[in-house]
């Protein structure tokens, strides 16, 4: 058990800052700058907890009973809430009362160690109830997500296990408790890493799904069938997706409807967000070009199909096809008719 805890602690300490640097940039992450900052604080807090767990399991006592551990412990749940609320509710932070969520971390260093642990897990249970309710509210959008839902369910299960551990703390030997807690944090970060690796733009997709869930329909007086036909013509015939600067407002302007109407049209009738819709067209065009022009560089193919960089091209291609452009080209070459 302790060996597994050490293994996952080591993974956590390296994975948390890497996730913060690679997946909480404005280009990939939804939400606001405040929510992204809270995401970084969340990940660094988890890494800090794991470092203290390591020193405790190796040397005993000390930091585990200090104010720093309490501060990090009470930071995790509020930081997660302030990070995920704009994503799950599709609305920016801004209400002054939101900063009351930072009150527990400010008071935590002054709590006795024996009171801090059970109180932090009791507080975490309230945030967990909020999370479950928020995810349940998006159930109508579940057709848009496949493996993502399983990984999110895994994260939710890990959170439940941690809550159960915290509430059962008086009945569990302290050393076993912190080993299990370290393992749970490591598993949560591993699942988050898998989720973001499989769906790098999951934050943006969740924001779009939440916006669709909570918005009043804007399509009531529109001919959705005609609009879908118009959209298909713009993509298939005029190939607007090849324009790297194409965005939702620009496409909505071409169609003569509002941004919200176009967003709802794509979300409700196609079961995907605007960004995914455009990426699918670009990747399909790239697949055709990779087959037709075997001597063209991968970068040239990506730029020709509307992507702004090789990294964005690789990310989208892997997300949609499950392989890199190079792998696709090799398979296409082997299966091409003589």
What pLDDT digit, counting tens, does each position of 69-101 carry? 889 988 988 888 888 777 776 555 555 667 788
**What would the two tokens of residue 195 be?**
């989720």
Q: Which of 28-37, 204-213, 236-245 ranks highest by mean pLDDT? A: 236-245
Q: Which residues contact 129 (CB under 8 A, 6 or more apart)?
A: none
Q: In which band, very low, low, confident or very high, does the pLDDT at 139 lie, cut at 50, 70 and 90? A: low
Whole-number average pLDDT of the chain: 80
**What would the two tokens of residue 47 be?**
């890494």
Note the pTM of the prediction, 2 decimals.
0.61
Residue 142 pLDDT > 70: no
Q: In which band, very low, low, confident or very high, does the pLDDT at 280 lie, cut at 50, 70 and 90? A: very high
Report the pLDDT value the prediction gives residue 58, as an integer from 0 to 100. Answer: 87
Report the pLDDT value the prediction gives residue 76, as an integer from 0 to 100. Answer: 87
Report the pLDDT value the prediction gives residue 34, as an integer from 0 to 100. Answer: 77
Report the pLDDT value the prediction gives residue 93, as an integer from 0 to 100. Answer: 52
Q: In which band, very low, low, confident or very high, does the pLDDT at 306 lie, cut at 50, 70 and 90? A: very high
Report the pLDDT value the prediction gives residue 216, as an integer from 0 to 100. Answer: 53
- Mean pLDDT over 137-151 rounds to 58
**What would the two tokens of residue 193 be?**
């890493």
Q: How many CB atoms within 10 Å of residue 80?
A: 23
Q: With CA atoms as reference, report the closest residue to 309 among 52, 10, 121, 28.
A: 28
Quick: pLDDT tens for 156-205: 777 777 777 776 667 778 888 888 888 888 888 887 887 777 666 666 66
* Percent over 70 (pLDDT), the chain: 79
Q: With CA atoms as reference, report the closest residue to 6 among 271, 258, 186.
A: 186
Q: Which residues contact 156 (CB under 8 A, 6 or more apart)?
A: 128, 131, 132, 135
Task: Tell me if 151 sits within 8 A of 195, measured CB to CB.
Answer: yes
End-to-end CA distance of the chain: 57
Q: With CA atoms as reference, report the closest residue to 281 among 320, 327, 253.
A: 320
Task: Tell me if 45 sits within 8 A of 75, measured CB to CB.
Answer: yes
Quick: pLDDT tens for 223-236: 888 999 999 999 98
Q: What angle do CA 33, 50, 194 make, to 5 degrees?
A: 60
Contacts 24+ apart (CB under 8 A), 215-220: 215/90, 215/260, 215/264, 217/264, 218/258, 218/260, 218/261, 218/264, 219/261, 219/264, 219/265, 219/268
């Amino acid at each position: 058990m302790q060996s597994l805890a050490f293994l996952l602690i080591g993974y956590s300490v390296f994975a948390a800052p890497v996730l913060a640097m690679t997946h909480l940039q404005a280009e990939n992450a939804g939400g606001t700058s405040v929510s992204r900052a809270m995401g970084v604080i969340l990940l660094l807090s988890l890494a800090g907890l794991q470092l203290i767990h390591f020193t405790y399991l190796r040397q005993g006592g000390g930091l585990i009973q200090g104010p720093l551990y309490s501060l990090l412990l009470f930071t995790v749940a509020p930081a997660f809430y302030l990070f995920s609320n704009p994503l799950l509710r599709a609305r920016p932070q801004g209400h002054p009362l939101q900063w009351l969520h930072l009150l527990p971390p400010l008071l935590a260093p002054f709590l006795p160690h024996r009171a801090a642990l059970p109180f932090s897990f009791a507080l975490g249970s309230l945030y967990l109830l909020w999370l479950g309710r928020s995810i349940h509210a998006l159930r109508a959008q579940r057709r848009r997500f496949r493996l993502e839902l399983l990984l999110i369910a895994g994260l939710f299960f890990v959170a439940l296990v941690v809550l159960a551990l915290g509430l059962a703390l008086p009945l569990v030997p302290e050393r076993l408790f912190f080993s299990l807690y370290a393992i749970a944090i490591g598993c949560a970060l591993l699942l988050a890493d898998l989720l973001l690796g499989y769906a790098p733009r999951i934050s943006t997709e969740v924001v779009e799904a939440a916006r669709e869930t909570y918005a009043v329909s804007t399509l009531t007086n529109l001919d959705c069938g005609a609009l879908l036909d118009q959209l298909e013509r713009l993509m298939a015939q005029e190939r607007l997706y090849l324009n790297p600067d194409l965005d939702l407002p620009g496409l909505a302007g071409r169609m003569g409807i509002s941004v919200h109407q176009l967003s709802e049209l794509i979300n409700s009738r196609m079961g995907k967000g605007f960004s995914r819709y455009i990426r699918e067209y670009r990747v399909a065009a790239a697949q055709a070009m990779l087959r037709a022009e075997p001597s063209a560089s991968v970068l040239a193919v990506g730029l020709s199909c509307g992507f702004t960089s090789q990294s964005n091209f690789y990310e989208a291609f892997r997300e949609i096809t499950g392989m890199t452009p190079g792998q696709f080209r090799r398979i296409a070459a082997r299966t091409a008719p003589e």
